[in-house]
């Protein structure tokens, strides 16, 4: 039998403060956070080909296309696995 875990999901448009809230919650609880916006910002700043494709979407305040998002998240998860369903 598996142990039940709780999860908090923060939803909202780009730039509305989800990462700020997640950082505050993380500092208060010590719980790790997977922040997709931060993942995409790091990718965009990395100089990678994928990051260069993400930049125009971020500049325009649009959501990154799902395939780009998934590539970035999967790349990170390969380093330290976590799956959210």
pTM (2 d.p.) = 0.66
Structure confidence at residue 29 (pLDDT): 87
d(CA 42, CA 64): 13
Structure confidence at residue 1 (pLDDT): 53
Q: Is the pLDDT of residue 55 over 90?
A: yes
Tell me the per-residue pLDDT of 12-50, one tens digit each, with 9 for 90 and over: 887 888 888 988 988 998 887 878 888 888 889 999 999
């Amino acid at each position: 039998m598996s142990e039940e875990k709780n999860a908090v999901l923060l939803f909202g448009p780009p730039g509305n403060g989800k990462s700020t809230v997640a950082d505050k919650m993380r500092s208060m609880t010590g719980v790790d956070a997977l922040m997709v916006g931060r993942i995409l910002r790091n990718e965009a700043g990395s100089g990678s080909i994928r990051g260069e494709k993400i930049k125009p979407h971020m500049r325009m305040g649009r959501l990154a296309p799902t395939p780009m998002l998934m590539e970035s998240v999967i790349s990170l998860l390969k380093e330290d696995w976590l799956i959210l369903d």
